């Protein structure tokens, strides 16, 4: 379940769950989120210890942090293959 949170809470959670080798760095935070204090933020807690891949979905003035498993992350970026035969 996603929960609305403040910019400060989002920042604390970002750094709590950030994996720098996955690109979640302080520089990334500063470039994309630090100045967006008036935006709306949501947090969806990991469903299990295996859901350790942080994802952030960003829309118009809205940011949502959620978590996927490693397998789900790999398939998240795959396009469905349509067999039109």
Question: Which pLDDT belongs to residue 33?
Answer: 96
The pLDDT of residue 85 is above 70: no
Instruction: Break the chain into its structural domains and give their ranges.
Output: 2-76
Question: Which pLDDT belongs to residue 82?
Answer: 63
Closest to 4 (Cα-Cα) out of 32, 31, 43, 33: 43
- Tens-place pLDDT, residues 31-82: 999 999 999 999 999 999 999 999 999 999 999 999 999 878 767 666 666 6
Q: Residue 22: which pLDDT band, with cuts at 50, 70 and 90?
A: confident
Question: Which pLDDT belongs to residue 31?
Answer: 96
CB 75 within 8 A of CB 34: no
Other C-beta atoms lying within 10 Å of the C-beta of residue 54: 20
Question: Which pLDDT belongs to residue 19?
Answer: 87
3-state per-residue secondary structure call for 38-71: CCEEEEECCCCCCCCEEEEEEECCEEEEEEECHH
Closest to 2 (Cα-Cα) out of 52, 75, 55: 55
Q: What is the pTM of this model?
A: 0.83
């Amino acid at each position: 379940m996603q929960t609305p949170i403040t910019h400060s809470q989002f920042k604390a959670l970002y750094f709590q769950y950030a994996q720098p080798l996955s690109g979640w760095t302080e520089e990334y935070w500063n470039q994309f989120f630090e100045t967006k204090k008036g935006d709306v933020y949501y947090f969806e807690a990991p469903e299990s210890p295996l859901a350790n891949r942080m994802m952030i979905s960003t829309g118009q003035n809205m940011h949502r942090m959620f978590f996927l498993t490693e397998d789900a992350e790999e398939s998240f970026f795959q396009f469905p293959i349509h067999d039109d035969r």
